[in-house]
């Protein structure tokens, strides 16, 4: 299986190269040149396998320069029961009205980013070896909260790596911040950026494209890599859980094997829902992919209003901060595929986005998108109402991001009359966004710190996840804040780690 840049498909690379380097030199994202399909024999194996086995099989289809033993070994370590509170890594909870909640937050940092970031360090360090790279890999991450925590946890004290996380100073929840600034490990550092997530992400892109910085670091024995969902090694492991959810539903008789489902995903950078799209291309029976957004509804408009992507609009800080994004990086990969792998078209669209913050896709691309996707959005009040409704009617407690997806799915169902079973990606533990969840249930939190956990726990009788409870009493290790203009200077810190 070969990988090419979305902006130049002339040069093919093996998956190890795509994973080790993260982003293509032309600024494009690495993509497989074709989609592998799942055979009847694959499905038979998948249904019988545990989560580790399912991940290994799916990864094996894409990472053909890795051996089956290598991948099985990585999955064994990444999804070890002690890190996930048991063997059921990605459980599906079936609720009323066709809702099947795929809980992706049982990992060490309580958000779905762990699903990929627990295995990425193994994939990345093995990839570096495969391409003969001797330098230390410096993982730079821009985060809207959850990626940073999960990446720090995944890479802490991994030999041959250093990690630096940048987060928007006012864009993360108190719990997310606490998780990041208390992260242990000799090779980790954290830096706040004055600005929002898009500022952090574009500042980081400056480092990746600054030749002088890259050369200087290289002289010091370091190379840059990324753990953001632009890295193919982030995306590939996420494909597996949609396939796993389908196997679980089929095994429980919730769907007849072969019958289609919908998948509804609360979306920010478009990574998680893109993984569902790829699962569909591999043969997962999916009717509609439903893209759920909060008040930052640039994607809803894109899908519902004639294929116009326009980021020139107010940025909203919402109760689902991990989705407060106006530039959804992974959409570029979708454009690549729905344009029939037209790298020239993608280059042009991305050029327009960089210049004027806006582009319009062709009629053909729009028709292809319409066929595959539905979309919707909701505001914070509707999100809170959804949390409350789900808790009162079905005794199910969900976080704000998941609630956005639940609300958008309910609207979709009412609007279309489509009652097909629908997998709703649940992307964070409700305890990670305590304040909003408590308020949605009619309570109040006085202090925005770990004591929130107890308030929510008292209110619902549900125990907080152990990794969050363990934050109590931990001292912050990092307090640096920089302006985005000064981001290049932060790379000096890497030498000190
Ligand atoms: C990252 C994140 C999202 C958005 O996922 P994308 O892959 O960026 O679309 C949604 N919910 C939570 C809790 C997240 O951490």
pLDDT digits (tens, 9 = 90+) for 472-491: 889 999 999 999 999 999 99
Burial per residue of 120-157, b for 16 or more beta-carbon CB atoms within 10 angstroms, e otherwise = bbbbbbbbbebeebeebbbbbbbbbbbbbbbbbbbbbe
pLDDT at 203: 87
Higher pLDDT, 288 or 22: 288
pLDDT over threshold 90, residue 101: yes
pLDDT over threshold 90, residue 21: no
Q: Is 146 in the pocket of ligand 1 (CB under 6 A)?
A: yes
Give the chain's count of helices (H) and strands (E): 22, 16
pLDDT over threshold 90, residue 97: yes
Q: What is the pLDDT of residues 219-230, one digit of tens each?
A: 999 999 888 888
pLDDT band at 471, cuts 50/70/90?
very high
Rounded CA gap, 113 and 108, in Å? Answer: 10
pLDDT at 172: 85
Ligand 1 mean position to 132 CA, how many Å? 33
Q: Which atom of ligand 1 is nearest to the CA of 275?
A: 7
pLDDT band at 446, cuts 50/70/90?
confident
Q: Is 272 in the pocket of ligand 1 (CB under 6 A)?
A: yes
Number of residues written out for the chain = 497
pLDDT band at 197, cuts 50/70/90?
confident
Task: Name the H helices within 320-377.
Answer: 331-338, 343-356, 363-372
Q: Over range 161-183, report the average pLDDT.
A: 91
pLDDT band at 268, cuts 50/70/90?
very high
Provide Rg for the chain, Cα atoms: 21
Rounded CA gap, 483 and 418, in Å? Answer: 48
Q: Is 267 in the pocket of ligand 1 (CB under 6 A)?
A: yes
Q: Which atom of ligand 1 is nearest to the CA of 270?
A: 9
Q: Over range 143-165, report the average pLDDT.
A: 93
pLDDT band at 447, cuts 50/70/90?
confident
Strand, helix or coil for residue 3: strand
Q: Is 271 in the pocket of ligand 1 (CB under 6 A)?
A: yes
Ligand 1 mean position to 208 CA, how many Å? 23
pLDDT band at 354, cuts 50/70/90?
very high
Q: What is the pLDDT of residues 323-347, one digit of tens each?
A: 998 999 999 999 999 999 999 999 9
pLDDT at 229: 82
Q: What is the average pLDDT value for the chain, to the nearest integer? A: 95
pLDDT > 70: what percent of the chain?
Answer: 100
pLDDT at 205: 84
Strands 99-103 and 92-94: antiparallel
Pick the most confident of 57-61, 441-445, 492-496: 57-61
Rounded CA gap, 233 and 120, in Å? Answer: 6
Strands 3-5 and 8-13: antiparallel
Q: Is 166 in the pocket of ligand 1 (CB under 6 A)?
A: no
Q: Over range 413-420, report the average pLDDT.
A: 98
pLDDT at 187: 96
pLDDT over threshold 90, residue 356: yes
pLDDT band at 352, cuts 50/70/90?
very high
Strand, helix or coil for residue 29: coil
pLDDT over threshold 90, residue 375: yes
Neighbours of 30 (CB within 10 A): 24
pLDDT at 394: 96
Q: Over range 417-435, report the average pLDDT.
A: 96
pLDDT at 209: 85
Q: Say which DSSP state 110 is in.
A: S
Q: Over range 289-314, report the average pLDDT.
A: 97
pLDDT over threshold 90, residue 320: yes
pLDDT over threshold 90, residue 448: no
Rounded CA gap, 432 and 450, in Å? Answer: 10
Ligand 1 mean position to 185 CA, how many Å? 25
pLDDT at 445: 86
pLDDT over threshold 90, residue 399: yes
Ligand 1 mean position to 79 CA, how many Å? 20
pLDDT over threshold 90, residue 22: no
Ligand 1 mean position to 495 CA, how many Å? 31
Run of H or E including 353: helix 343-356
Q: Is 270 in the pocket of ligand 1 (CB under 6 A)?
A: yes
């Amino acid at each position: 299986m070969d990988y090419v840049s979305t902006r130049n498909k002339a040069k093919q690379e093996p998956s190890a190269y795509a994973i080790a380097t993260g982003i293509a030199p032309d600024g494009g994202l690495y993509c497989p040149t074709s989609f592998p399909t799942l055979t009847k024999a694959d499905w038979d194996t998948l249904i019988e396998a545990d989560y580790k086995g399912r991940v290994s099989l799916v990864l094996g289809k894409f990472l053909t320069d890795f051996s089956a033993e290598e991948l099985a070994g990585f999955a064994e370590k990444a999804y070890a029961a002690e890190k996930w509170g048991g063997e059921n890594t990605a459980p599906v909870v079936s609720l009323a009205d066709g809702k099947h909640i795929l809980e992706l937050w049982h990992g060490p940092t309580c958000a779905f980013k762990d699903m990929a970031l627990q295995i990425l360090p193994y994939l990345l360090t093995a990839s570096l070896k495969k391409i003969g790279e001797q330098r230390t890999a410096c993982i730079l991450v821009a985060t809207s909260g959850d990626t940073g925590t999960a990446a720090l946890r995944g890479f802490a004290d991994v030999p041959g790596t250093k990690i630096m996380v940048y987060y928007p100073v006012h864009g993360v929840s108190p719990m997310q911040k606490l998780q990041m600034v208390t992260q242990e490990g000799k090779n980790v550092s954290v830096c706040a950026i004055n600005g929002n997530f898009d500022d952090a992400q574009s500042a980081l892109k400056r480092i990746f494209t600054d030749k002088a910085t890259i050369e200087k670091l290289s002289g010091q024995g370091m190379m840059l890599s990324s753990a953001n969902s632009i890295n193919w090694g982030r995306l590939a492991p996420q494909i597996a859980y949609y396939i796993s959810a389908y196997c679980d539903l089929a095994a429980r008789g919730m769907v007849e094997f072969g019958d289609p489902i919908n998948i509804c995903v609360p979306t920010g950078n478009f990574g998680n829902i893109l993984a569902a799209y790829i699962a569909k291309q591999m043969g997962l029976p999916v009717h509609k992919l439903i893209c759920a957004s909060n008040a930052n509804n640039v994607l809803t408009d894109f899908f519902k209003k004639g294929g116009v992507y326009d980021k020139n609009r107010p940025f909203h800080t919402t109760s689902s901060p991990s989705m407060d994004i106006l530039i959804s990086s992974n959409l570029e990969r979708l454009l690549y595929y729905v344009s029939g792998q037209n790298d020239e078209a993608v280059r042009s669209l991305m050029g327009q986005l960089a210049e004027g913050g806006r582009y319009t896709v062709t009629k053909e691309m729009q028709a292809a998108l319409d066929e595959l996707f539905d979309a919707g959005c909701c505001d914070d009040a509707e999100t809170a109402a959804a949390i409350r409704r789900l808790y009162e009617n079905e005794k199910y407690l969900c976080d704000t991001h998941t609630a956005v997806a639940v609300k958008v799915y309910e609207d979709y169902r009412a609007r279309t009359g489509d009652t097909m079973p629908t997998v709703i990606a649940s992307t964070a533990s409700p305890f990670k966004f305590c304040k909003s969840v408590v308020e949605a249930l009619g309570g109040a939190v006085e202090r925005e710190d770990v004591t929130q956990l107890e308030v929510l726990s008292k209110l619902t009788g549900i125990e907080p996840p152990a990794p969050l409870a363990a934050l109590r009493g931990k001292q912050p290790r990092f307090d640096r804040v920089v302006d985005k203009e000064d981001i290049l200077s932060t790379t000096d810190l890497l030498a000190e780690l």
